[in-house]
Structure 1
């Protein structure tokens, strides 16, 4: 066994180990025994990443000349790898690019899926850099009961949800693995280079694969690694191999990029930097994340105003409440913002810091009742989803194809 192999196995822990005292966090499962959800401070230590602290937030504001996004200020993006190096590049007017992705397993995306894209859009505009968005329809074919044709169709539909957030077609390339890899020898070569350097034992340790795992799943991590390297997109980066990458993603995707960061120097590439987000909790509580396969755990971008209201207001059946069981008990003991799903959703989507703090104080004291908290959330979500639905309805297939056509973007290298 080589020294490099030992290094990977020392650094990368088994992400699928289930310990009653530990949260389970891997690319396919998120579970916590606590009503408050995942302990993110413990997760930082376990994964070996760094906390997004006040110093980093202030430096981002200084470098961009813009106020920090509320996802940063509120700890939604809480963990990072090498973000200071990205800021060094920005200060020196040197290039980097953004990469994030989506696994298209459902017709419509839900609110939780929006979080990385909302923040990625802010980063792209703040730093004025190119963005590549990977749609892993091949992954969903391997893991879900989907045909290749259905996975490809869902990829195209999900691209519409992403584009409806307002990305700039001149600065953004969205690609389906099923389409792009067949057109890109450079991308495929980087997949092969990665595959050659990672052993079966290593992917077993990282992802929990076993002897019954199909070989498609075993090789898939190399496909998610490839967009981290600028040489995978010669049409964008003019065949440059040394343009650094920043990946905003949910923390459950980190195992893929820990592997990538270990392989990158051996390929002569730069390690990708990362910013990790917390999970958007399921309606039933923060012990797990929203799931596209469970309609009752999620609020979808296709939900009507009535469906949104029903899901939020049906406390015990859907939306988990941190309020008292009766009005009297709530007024006496107050609400628990740490576990109340409606309040947690407001921390993501209510941008007004003063109003959020007012809600926190009055709900905690018992002055604000659960019904009023939910009413405020319903109005905000109906507005966000209604506006998104309207923008999406205006997208033509031709617009989507423009985003998904391999091409040069509005940057020179």
Structure 2
């Protein structure tokens, strides 16, 4: 099977790497790809926005499956265009992608189908928004309604901040802002393969959105992740699938827009139970970089079955290990990013304990330089969460570029849970032995 991936980030690098090792896949192409992918895929210098050229190339090369990585091509309807020429696509339609492209659409459909999420209101003017903010109190969450790459959400701790952020959001190109109650709890991501009807959930992952340690600083596209999440046991995962994932898939089908592809469900584990924070219409980044190294099933087979509506009866096999990812970002990210910095160290070797996925790099003569906000995703593997983090940070210490920034606390919240759980297990074992 010939597979073409659309995209050029760390998520697409991880997808290309996994598909390269899939027995069902003979050739992997990436449009437009990045410099780090050349050893595992054929990088094709095409612009996906030029649809006629892309469609002609896909047909000429007899591509069997197209995998769309980023959200923007989905929101702009690329999957629909490719399907019209008879090529299977892993990625939802433009209408189904509104689950990510419009927060108000997602919230409204959750309200109509009684899917648990935070209380919310959609407002179009500042005075109405101020009234809601003062009625609900702070902290409060303000979300830009459109597509902002994970950076359109602000948690406001004071009324002054909330009013200022609301004013800024509504004075920009946004026509509306979603105001949400602030939910307390632990966040977790559950990604699922969805073929329009059937749901095949993956293991849980946890992203770190804030730029700085201890969840401080501005929101980013993601500064690190790990999987699995110890707090997400089989019972809780099944509850999420039964009360959230399957109902939203059924809802989209009933609305006339069956969802096909990877459904990303961002969740808050509250005292009242799991609630939806957001839906994304694709694999998460950097969650993909920790999930795929643990997946033992043939990704090509699963993706093709998803695209063809044939997931029923299929299952996934997973490694018993943990995977952790630390994102290395450029100076100034996520505001004014400084690029063009020479990268030193080993950013290619993939072994049994670590690997590196390229997000924002380019190759110049004899070395790599930074070409984006998030530059590299450094992944560590281990038999425990702590061991996977040790391997990730050990690899991080071998890579450098000017202005490099990264979080040093990835996985800390679950390490405490793991230690507590192991202590309880040991105590029970002693009591009964």
Shorter-chain TM-score above 0.5: no
TM-score norm. by structure 1 comes to 0.31
- Considering fraction of residues, name the structure with more strand: 2
- Considering fraction of residues, name the structure with more helix: 1
TM-score norm. by structure 2 comes to 0.30
